[in-house]
Chain A
């Protein structure tokens, strides 16, 4: 009866696939963990090269995707929760799916992206040998509590960790300050940008402005976006640490591509990326830092990143009726600000659709749209469709930045709004759809139904996120 949890899980995955419910990303894991709470420990300890954990607010999924590709190129076989199902039950489902009925993983290294609030459970179960923290931004507060709490939860998750390497974003003061709380049985490394051209103009999402040590207001020599930048405290010795890995010589080409160099102390590789935006430079740099820490050579990293594409829905290109569509996932103020800022570098971007839902996975509080800087979108736009459950809130947001509201159409029904947008778009132009999570799922489901995109239940099934209450 040793494998009953595993076999039950496998049967449930099979059923959910056959009946096309949920894609099997969460529920089977949930049930299997009920039967055997140590299932995750039992399977992951058989991974020969250990496990890697990526956490933080933004960039987990894209960074994981990059790293998974790099590990693949280097000949490793990766067990990866690529569905974006990053709570414990999602991890369990991944492991159930990717192991034999005898509980042997079909791979030799584990790669897990983990929700910040799930870190304590995840770290104690997975015993990772490398942890990377991407950044900490204000996400939907109704789900995660407040930012300081999130940092405290991550710090606490690493309390009993030994012989691990913790890679931190040096440019994020909230993340780099975690170093003070990491015990000396572990090694700490940093990554950050070396950049003078792309300096943030927007003051939006300056989420962490005060020194985490003494409370004084940090002085920013420059900011790359939000509160990421080169900073120091005027009163104590807290400052942006020296980095082990950096990105430099950055050029962005609209929202579609970018070029830059990634470097450690001794080596330098030039990268052409099919993604753009400073946030995507960070994602590549994070994957590079992890790969270097694991001893993977520059050529392998370069080859893998050169062929990379966006993670599910983060930035995805589709063609409908010979018209180009980009799907862009937005989930918090900084994400929306960054995408809009990157879009504004391309004067050809003139047709937009903004989908705002307030379901659980989107965050039920829509006030975050007021914290985003939407102004750069207010240029020579052709039209903006607002859609989704709270479309009217988005229209209102735009009105208060003096957008020409006669060029904005508010249609809650996503399918209808999308259909109109496509019909009204001049030939040869591109529609940019910025959407929250469940809006993305709805739109993708619709596009699948009408035969535009392949069924994506295999890649990105939906999941019900549980509310993780953080004490106040």
Chain B
């Protein structure tokens, strides 16, 4: 089996260990004999989604967001169409913001988004920084998800780190990715985190997100395989002891939330 992973703006939108997300997908496929081809699409490059299975776009600084906005908007209709067709998408932080309708900065400048997500983001004076724990069990159940393995169903939490000034508000036609257990979440109200529309996901979580949350990586892989082969494919189980040791350490750290000021 094989998958094509499109890494959008690998130079401009690449912050907070986004490389770890790509690496996590590639390795977990590789360990199961699934061949992943990573295709880097830079600003100005043509985008071909006809044979794509996963699209990834990472976070970026304000200036990076400004640099790629025009190019992203020109690719917008194509990405929207592919998402409607079931393309698996993961967007983090700055990319998540630009996949909504717009991002209005604190200064009032409006960066247009591509409206993959029915969501918009407004810059704020707050900086939402820290560890986050998100519970995805309810949101996944609500979306009628049946493809998760029993082992995966034991987890269904995401651990990560958020660092954003923008507050994201979701519209009617999208679901949050999960419920905030600890952290600020989309809009600082500590209620919901991230967003999902079909197989497209947006989240503020980095850390990197995927390595410490292997069930979610596998879930993305399953969605991508389904997209390519038009059938449900069960992944081979892996030994995730090291992954969940890191997850548990970070979770404990988050919930005790005591930073020693050494």
Residues of A bordering B, CB below 8 Å: 138, 141-142, 145-149, 206, 209-210, 215, 217, 358-361, 364-371, 389-393, 395-397, 399-400, 405, 410, 412, 437-438, 441-442, 462, 464, 469, 471-472
The residue of chain A having its C-beta at the shortest distance from the C-beta of B15 within the complex is A141
B108 → chain A, closest Cβ, in Å? 14
Bound together, the chains give a CA A146 to CA B245 distance in angstroms of 30
The residue of chain B having its C-beta at the shortest distance from the C-beta of A442 within the complex is B262
- CB atoms of A400 and B27 under 8 A apart: yes
Given contacts A389-B253, A393-B249, A396-B246, contact A471 B106 (CB under 8 A): yes
Chain A residues within 8 Å of B208, by CB: 367, 370
**Which among B67, B165, B248 is the interface contact of A472 at CB below 8 angstroms?**
B165
The residue of chain A having its C-beta at the shortest distance from the C-beta of B66 within the complex is A215
- CB atoms of B261 and A464 under 8 A apart: yes
Given contacts A210-B63, A364-B130, 15 further A-B contacts (CB under 8 A): A146-B61, A148-B62, A366-B207, A367-B208, A369-B17, A370-B18, A370-B19, A390-B249, A392-B248, A392-B250, A412-B249, A442-B262, A471-B106, A472-B62, A472-B165
- CB atoms of A371 and B17 under 8 A apart: yes
B182 → chain A, closest Cβ, in Å? 13
Q: Does B7 contact A (CB under 8 A)?
A: no
Given contacts A367-B16, A469-B127, A471-B106, contact A360 B259 (CB under 8 A): yes
The residue of chain A having its C-beta at the shortest distance from the C-beta of B123 within the complex is A472
Q: Does B186 contact A (CB under 8 A)?
A: no
Q: Does B115 contact A (CB under 8 A)?
A: no
- CB atoms of B161 and A370 under 8 A apart: no
B100 → chain A, closest Cβ, in Å? 17
Residues of B bordering A, CB below 8 Å: 11-12, 15-20, 23-24, 27, 42-43, 61-64, 67, 106, 123, 125, 127, 129-131, 161, 163, 165-166, 206-208, 211-212, 242-243, 245-246, 248-250, 253, 259-262
- CB atoms of A393 and B212 under 8 A apart: yes
Chain B residues within 8 Å of A438, by CB: 260, 262
Given contacts A206-B11, A359-B261, A464-B261, contact A367 B17 (CB under 8 A): yes
B70 → chain A, closest Cβ, in Å? 11
- CB atoms of A396 and B211 under 8 A apart: yes
A-B complex: 5 closest residue pairs judged by Cβ atoms: A370-B17, A370-B20, A472-B165, A367-B17, A392-B246
Given contacts A210-B67, A217-B11, contact A392 B161 (CB under 8 A): no
Chain B residues within 8 Å of A469, by CB: 127
**Which among B23, B67, B123 is the interface contact of A370 at CB below 8 angstroms?**
B23
A213 → chain B, closest Cβ, in Å? 12
Chain A residues within 8 Å of B206, by CB: 365, 367
B13 → chain A, closest Cβ, in Å? 12
B105 → chain A, closest Cβ, in Å? 8
- CB atoms of A390 and B17 under 8 A apart: no
- CB atoms of B17 and A368 under 8 A apart: yes
- CB atoms of A392 and B242 under 8 A apart: yes
A162 → chain B, closest Cβ, in Å? 29
Chain B residues within 8 Å of A393, by CB: 212, 246, 249-250
Chain A residues within 8 Å of B24, by CB: 400
Bound together, the chains give a CA A371 to CA B246 distance in angstroms of 17
B167 → chain A, closest Cβ, in Å? 11
- CB atoms of B242 and A395 under 8 A apart: yes
Chain B residues within 8 Å of A412, by CB: 249
Chain A residues within 8 Å of B11, by CB: 206, 209-210, 217
The residue of chain A having its C-beta at the shortest distance from the C-beta of B12 within the complex is A210
Bound together, the chains give a CA A395 to CA B208 distance in angstroms of 14
Chain A residues within 8 Å of B246, by CB: 390, 392-393, 395-396
Given contacts A206-B11, A392-B245, A471-B106, contact A360 B250 (CB under 8 A): no
Q: List 10 A-B contacts (CB under 8 A).
A: A141-B15, A146-B62, A217-B11, A217-B43, A365-B161, A370-B23, A392-B248, A396-B242, A400-B23, A400-B211
The residue of chain B having its C-beta at the shortest distance from the C-beta of A467 within the complex is B129
A16 → chain B, closest Cβ, in Å? 16
**Which among B123, B211, B250 is the interface contact of A390 at CB below 8 angstroms?**
B250
Bound together, the chains give a CA A405 to CA B246 distance in angstroms of 14
Given contacts A392-B242, A472-B106, contact A359 B16 (CB under 8 A): no
Q: Give the interface centre of B23, B106, B129 by most chain A CB atoms within 10 Å.
A: B129
- CB atoms of A365 and B212 under 8 A apart: no
A448 → chain B, closest Cβ, in Å? 15
B258 → chain A, closest Cβ, in Å? 10
- CB atoms of B16 and A365 under 8 A apart: yes
The residue of chain A having its C-beta at the shortest distance from the C-beta of B19 within the complex is A370
Bound together, the chains give a CA A431 to CA B82 distance in angstroms of 52
- CB atoms of A359 and B260 under 8 A apart: yes
- CB atoms of A370 and B131 under 8 A apart: no
- CB atoms of B262 and A441 under 8 A apart: yes
B211 → chain A, closest Cβ, in Å? 6
- CB atoms of B262 and A141 under 8 A apart: no
A312 → chain B, closest Cβ, in Å? 15
Chain B residues within 8 Å of A149, by CB: 61
